[in-house]
Structure 1
Amino acid sequence: MGNIVKEDLEHRGYMVRWITSGESAIEALSDTDLVILDVMLPGLDGFTVGQRLKNCHPDIPILMLSARTAVEDKLQGLQFADDYVTKPFHPDELSARIEVLFRRNQQAFPEEIQLSHLKVIMTENRILKNDGEEIILTSKQHQIFMYLLQHPNQILTKEQLFEAVWGEPYLEGDKTLMVHIRYLREKIEQLPSTPKIIETIRGIGYRVKQ
């Protein structure tokens, strides 16, 4: 099950680390944005692990994944977890719940982000160069850039980006997104031919590393 979840989420553009024991989970939280936690674990059970994780890192959302469907188990999990999904589940449902938790957690998103020679003031939707010059983007360019920033270090597929910005299904071979990315890079990159801010992940999509 862990391998299936890992492969599916990686295919959707997430960076996933699969940990097989509760004891080592706390050590892995330093660069983690969200935890998917199974109840049935070797050693410490998921309820105990979840409570410890939440005590150490209360801002990191936890999604419990369990075959236990009893109300008592759900109530126990939701004492610390942010969501509770029972098996069997559809991968699309798991992905949708993850996105909901990320959106719910966006109030903790930094007000300003420094990227290379840029300062992005998220609360004002402004992008400034180090010399103070403001970069003006078109509406679509701004939506693309903000969506990438809201998913830091995550590889976003062309399909994800297109559907998030245009609200329509992506058609294979459509160059619209690629053209917008090219013009966006001409405005925000120091050397658009060798971009440092918006990375191209060949065969998959794009990523902004923070």
Structure 2
Amino acid sequence: MKRSVLYIEDNEKIGSWVKDELQQRGFSVQWLLSGEGAENEIHQHEVVILDIMLPGLDGFTVGRRLKKAAPAVPILLLSARTAIDDKVEGLQFADDYVTKPFHTDELVARLEVLIRRSGGTSSTRIALGNHIEVDTELQMVYDKDTGAEIILTGKQHQILMYFLRHPNQVLPKEQIYEAVWGEAYITGDKTLMVHIRRLRQKLERNPDAPEIIETLKGIGYRVKL
């Protein structure tokens, strides 16, 4: 299930970049250029990203209205302002505060924490294909058809979790190897390929025609959510 974000940002360049980044990581994003009427949209979402510098109603005013309309939905403020007074005012209603410029990895991590704290997701389980579920909280993998846990080796588990941290992204084999093994990839090394094949044997209904871990020939792998 995609996590749903209401994103309010008037800068079209920044807004387009953030929306694309979040969607690539498995979020569903509704992007508004102003806060007008945002309180009518908030109930459809699990978390709000709100820029302070907005045309018309400023972010502080919008944020207070949103919190009144939906107290349980967490709000993450974005601002180029670094003044303590602004942070203090923002945190009167917001649940977190990120200063521009920021890295999307940090933004995603903060969103995940806010959603988890608020109980916004009905489950911590991510569906892979039609028969696999991964409980990201317990770090366990299940076959939905039988309810049985699928036991992975340490490296298989690390590879799968790395895919889930980068959903829908094409990941070069070099990047995966270096992230999981913590050392430089040597051209021609088959270690990752062997582990992917064994992981597919545990996850895929037909490992020879994989539906969960896709191979993009000459590039790398991708897991779609």
- Regarding TM over 0.5, the answer is yes
* Aligned equivalent of 1:41, options 54, 58, 65: 54
Letter in 1 for 2:143: L
Q: Confirm whether residue 207 of structure 1 aligns to residue 217 of structure 2.
A: no
CA distance in 2, matches of 1:104, 1:168: 33
Unpaired segments of 5 or more residues in structure 2? 1-10
Q: Which residue among 117, 121, 125 is the counterpart of 2:140?
A: 125
Opposite residue 207 of structure 1, the aligned amino acid is V
Q: Given the alignment, which residue of 46, 57, 70 partners 2:83?
A: 70
Residue 33 (structure 2) aligns with? 20
Q: Which residue of 1 aligns with 2:159?
A: 144
In the superposition, relative to structure 1, how do residues 51 and 25 fare at CA in structure 2: closer, same or farther (>3 Å)?
Answer: same
Q: Contact (CA 8 Å) 2:46, 2:115: kept in 1 or not? A: no
| Matching residue of 1:58 | 72
Q: Report how far residue 161 of structure 1 moved.
A: 5.1
CA distance in 2, matches of 1:200, 1:128: 22
CA RMSD of aligned residues (A): 4.0
- Contact 1:120/1:127, CA 8 A, preserved across alignment: yes
Q: Supply the AA of the counterpart residue of 2:197.
A: R
1:96 aligns with 2:96: no
Q: How many residues are treated as equivalent by the alignment? A: 202
Match of 2:13 among 3, 28, 36: 3
Between the two proteins, what is the percent identity of the paired residues? 48
Pairwise CA distance, 1:145: 2.4
1:182 to 2:192 alignment? no
- Relative to the length of structure 2, the TM-score reads 0.63
TM-score, structure 1 normalization? 0.67
- Residues 54-78 of structure 1 deviation map (CA, whole Å, 9 limit, x = unaligned): 4526354x33222333322211111
